[in-house]
Amino acid sequence: MQNIDQIYINGQFVTPHGSEEFALFNPTTEATIGRVRLADERDAEQAIAAAKAAFPAWSRTTKEARLAVLERMYLAVQAREADLLEAIVTEYGAPASRSQWMATWPAQTIRQAMVTLERFEFVEQAGRARVVMTPLGVAGLITPWNSDAGFICSKLATAMAAGCTAVIKPRRDERLADANY
């Protein structure tokens, strides 16, 4: 049984201040397969403060620097595809073909954000005006109930490519698949 009792704030895994927990179940066997400790309001405030503090430096990074970070993220996520596949089969009970696609999708979304960033021009001419696209602040990323790992990677990679820092709020009943990322 896997226990998810860490959250990621300010570049490190920490134990949440929140103490509420819930059980994860295998839908096929109805067996308990894990427990999740939830973050609380204090944890959210710390995550937001950390993202705000990191924003000025991250928003000034070059396209090349962002691409380098996204490449490392892509390789790290791709290296965990087998773990994600196992979690998907265990917690969703999805057929093998669907599970395989769901396991590769998170890394693919990061690669798509990289391709978009490579091609994107942050400065463009609009008639006589020069338009400069600039990051606006911390992105609040809320994920839906299905396929969180893919949505987390897609939304985070897109925010990072745009020069924004982010705070991720997965659905309340976070799954094992999400903990892999």
pLDDT score recorded for residue 145: 67
pLDDT tens per residue, range 17-36: 999 998 888 888 889 999 99
Tell whether the model's pLDDT for residue 180 goes beyond 80. no
The answer to whether the beta carbons of residues 46 and 12 sit under 8 Å apart is no
Contacts of 1 (CB under 8 A, 6+ apart): 32, 33, 34, 35
Identity of the amino acid at 50: A
**Alpha-carbon distance 67 to 51, whole Å?**
19
Q: How much is the pTM? A: 0.88
Contacts of 41 (CB under 8 A, 6+ apart): none
Q: Taking the domains of the chain in order of start, what are their residue ranges?
A: 2-179
Mean pLDDT for the stretch of residues 147-161: 92
- Architecture of the 2-179 domain: 3-Layer(aba) Sandwich (3.40)
pLDDT score recorded for residue 95: 82
The answer to whether the beta carbons of residues 139 and 116 sit under 8 Å apart is no
